[in-house]
Structure 1
Amino acid sequence: MPESLPVITDPPVDHSDVVTWVQSLGGPVWIELSGVDNDRCRVITTLLHGNEPSGILALHRWLAERPQPQTRLAVLVANVAAALAPPHFTQRIAPGGRDLNRCFRPPYEDASGMLAEAITHDIMARAPECVIDLHNTSGNGPSFAVATHCDPCIERLAGRFCDKLIVTDFRLGSLMELPFAFPLLSRCPMFTLECGGALQPAAVEVAGAVYRKLAEWPSVTDLSPNPALEVLAHPLRVELKPGVRIAYAHAPQHGAQVTLWSRIDAYNRGVTSPEVCLGWLGEGGLANLQARDARGEERIRQLLCERDGKLYPRRPLRLFMATTNAEIARSDCLFYAVPY
């Protein structure tokens, strides 16, 4: 059985800057606040990626208010090593590690896997009423939630923080997939909340609202639904094929097989029409890209097309998580897309 992570219970107010405070934590840690009813627990996880700091910034600010939650509130500060790798809050993965939010499934053989296993054990031991995993989007854009299945409780919870819920059938080893693997969590509403871009002040406000509301609500099961919540199902991940070179610019770049528009994250809002040029394709054309669904079937030509060396949507699309970070594009994906 994995060893539990350290716990800091009812921490005193820390008036240092957030980096100094994170350094003082010493590594992955649970910050646990006593509640009016300590027999119940709610969980928030943050900083699974070191370059997604809105959750930790909001936590540091909120703890200064000396909150007393309705229930016990356990907050995980996860990937401290990645967050503190210089420059601070710019590294997604700890040096020498793997993407922590791809490690929540066996084998747990390396340091990242063992940390994910310990987090899983700790969450199950708390038998939480809900788990909300805070992230930042890899490009600028509005907040949205991601879940692995349709669930009315998830919709009511997510609808308090955003107007869009993505229901994905991809299984990547993320934390929000734990209810599928562990029956003890099967009835626990668990989802990811993408608070917005890491540099957007509004993203810290979204994360702050999660702490405040989960602390204030007497119950998470009797919330009223958000009638404006839009539920989008079965997104496709648009990825580079192995070895393909990418650039971001205002014109096609020499040596790049795919050049995306430098502000492609502007299309993380609304519907992108087939007339919008997303970028330029070099040698190999559309064959440089792939978009396999959860069953492994290639769907790229249903989403995108090439005209005169330029990349366009084949049909109106809802894009999200479109990034302008070439490293994330290579290691993860260019963007997600849902036909509109």
Structure 2
Amino acid sequence: MVTTRLPVLRDPPVDHDDVGTWVASLGGPTWIVLSGDDARRCRVVTTLLHGNEPSGVMALHRWLATQPRPRTRLAVLVANVGAALTPPHFTHRSVPGERDLNRCFRPPHAGVSGVLAAAIAEDIQAWAPECVIDMHNTSGNGPSFAVATVRDPFLERLAGQFCDRLIVTDFRLGSLMELPLVVPALAPCPMLTLECGGALQPAAREVAGTVFRRLAEWSDLTALEPHPDLDVLVHPLRVELRPGASIAYAREPQPGVDVTLWARIDEHNRGLTLPDTFLGWLGEEGLACLQACDARGQDHLHELLCERQGRLYPRCPMRLFMATTNVEIARSDCLFYSVPL
């Protein structure tokens, strides 16, 4: 019997038709564990690290109603229940006033979110999983993609089962997928973040459902076939506001605002973004209110973006992803990531 710090429900029935009511019935962060034909092996999925990214837990709720029987034990974490249930439900990334849970997986594990992150890390060690997939929604609309901290053939094959793009990032932000770099016991465990698409996109729920079904059906993960056209992008740049800069999203420039991004900038999360693509308007400070740093903290803004007559454009062809239209996320996290081509 695996001993965990967080509560465990084993092979639970689905007693509530409404996913919000079901999440509330858990009472807090909970492992949902399905017995497998081979109880010696385990696979782990984490969901709802951000309370406003519910596609994973919605797909889980729907899938559990089918009473699945996986090939191996499957442990699924429903993590940030408090944030998810803060009214209005499924709209808060974190509990107001608390740290972002997915920035707390490196010590020191301060505050409520840090304590929870430490418990999750210990529990994942206890499960000794064959793999971990951490499911999220993108902060803007867009296609699904995966993120890994290392370029690895197995992670490429695993990512290719669910999406067409893998980002290999060297940013270290304290996310769950960084645990193998932090916890020596987890170093052999493949961990992948899967961004399923926008929280309101039905397709995102379908992607999440595919994760549960396939992890339950696969007998041998080492036998996965590679995705022949997987797009692998490495070393993204993180485009952020400089301290004190202001931002808005609109269809026209907003007076007194340093950066007004185009209201539907998240449309550029798909495909190639070319130098003639209009991204938004700049205020009196121009580009000085932005930075585009790599993982070492070096700013590549002027290699990536340029100003033309007060408007913001790419300087070169690029792949743009995680572009948000949420002002709070833009202020507290970043505007978007980009890989110049």
* TM-score bin, normalised by smaller chain: over 0.9
5+ long unaligned stretches in structure 2: none
Conserved 8 A contact 1:13-1:66: no
CA distance in 1, matches of 2:278, 2:232: 26
Aligned AA (2:209): G
Aligned twin of 1:319: 320
Alignment of 1:41-56 (within 5 A): 41-56=42-57
Say whether 1:200 aligns with 2:197. no
Conserved 8 A contact 1:14-1:64: no
1:79-127 Cα distance to aligned partner (Å, 9 max, x none): 0000000110000011221100000011112110000000000000111
Aligned twin of 2:218: 217
Aligned twin of 1:37: 38
Aligned twin of 2:245: 244
CA distance in 2, matches of 1:296, 1:13: 47
CA distance in 1, matches of 2:221, 2:76: 17
Aligned twin of 2:13: 12
User: Aligned residues, how many?
Assistant: 339
Q: How far is 1:15 from its partner?
A: 3.6
Q: How far is 1:143 from its partner?
A: 0.2
CA distance in 2, matches of 1:211, 1:291: 36
Aligned AA (1:20): T
Say whether 1:186 aligns with 2:187. yes
Aligned twin of 1:74: 75
Aligned AA (2:338): A
Give 3-state SS (helix, strand or coil) of 2:267's partner. Answer: helix
Conserved 8 A contact 2:4-2:126: no
Aligned twin of 1:336: 337
CA distance in 1, matches of 2:30, 2:302: 45
CA distance in 1, matches of 2:256, 2:15: 50
Conserved 8 A contact 1:165-1:232: yes
Q: How far is 1:292 from its partner?
A: 1.3
Question: What RMSD over aligned residues (CA atoms) do the two structures have, in Å?
Answer: 1.0
TM-score by length of 2: 0.98
Tell me whether 143-152 or 178-187 shows the greater mean CA deviation.
Answer: 178-187
Aligned AA (1:76): L
Q: How far is 1:13 from its partner?
A: 2.7
Say whether 1:280 aligns with 2:276. no
Aligned twin of 2:131: 130
Aligned twin of 1:235: 236
TM-score by length of 1: 0.98
Q: How far is 1:3 from its partner?
A: 7.0
Aligned twin of 2:151: 150
Q: How far is 1:272 from its partner?
A: 0.7
CA distance in 2, matches of 1:15, 1:170: 40
Aligned twin of 2:291: 290
Aligned AA (2:134): D
Aligned twin of 1:164: 165
Say whether 1:270 aligns with 2:271. yes
CA distance in 1, matches of 2:62, 2:77: 16
Aligned twin of 1:253: 254
Aligned twin of 2:227: 226
1:124-170 Cα distance to aligned partner (Å, 9 max, x none): 01110000000000000000000000111111111000000000000
5+ long unaligned stretches in structure 1: none
Give 3-state SS (helix, strand or coil) of 1:72's partner. Answer: strand
Conserved 8 A contact 2:266-2:323: yes
Aligned twin of 2:110: 109
Aligned AA (1:312): Y
CA distance in 2, matches of 1:241, 1:93: 23
Conserved 8 A contact 2:48-2:84: yes
Give 3-state SS (helix, strand or coil) of 1:122's partner. Answer: helix
1:35-84 Cα distance to aligned partner (Å, 9 max, x none): 00001000000000000000010000000000000000000000000000
CA distance in 1, matches of 2:11, 2:167: 34
Aligned AA (2:281): W
Aligned AA (2:313): Y
Give 3-state SS (helix, strand or coil) of 1:232's partner. Answer: strand
Give 3-state SS (helix, strand or coil) of 2:222's partner. Answer: coil
Runs of 4+ in structure 1 displaced over 3 angstroms? none
CA distance in 2, matches of 1:163, 1:109: 36
Give 3-state SS (helix, strand or coil) of 1:280's partner. Answer: strand
CA distance in 1, matches of 2:7, 2:311: 52
Q: How far is 1:251 from its partner?
A: 1.0
CA distance in 1, matches of 2:79, 2:41: 22
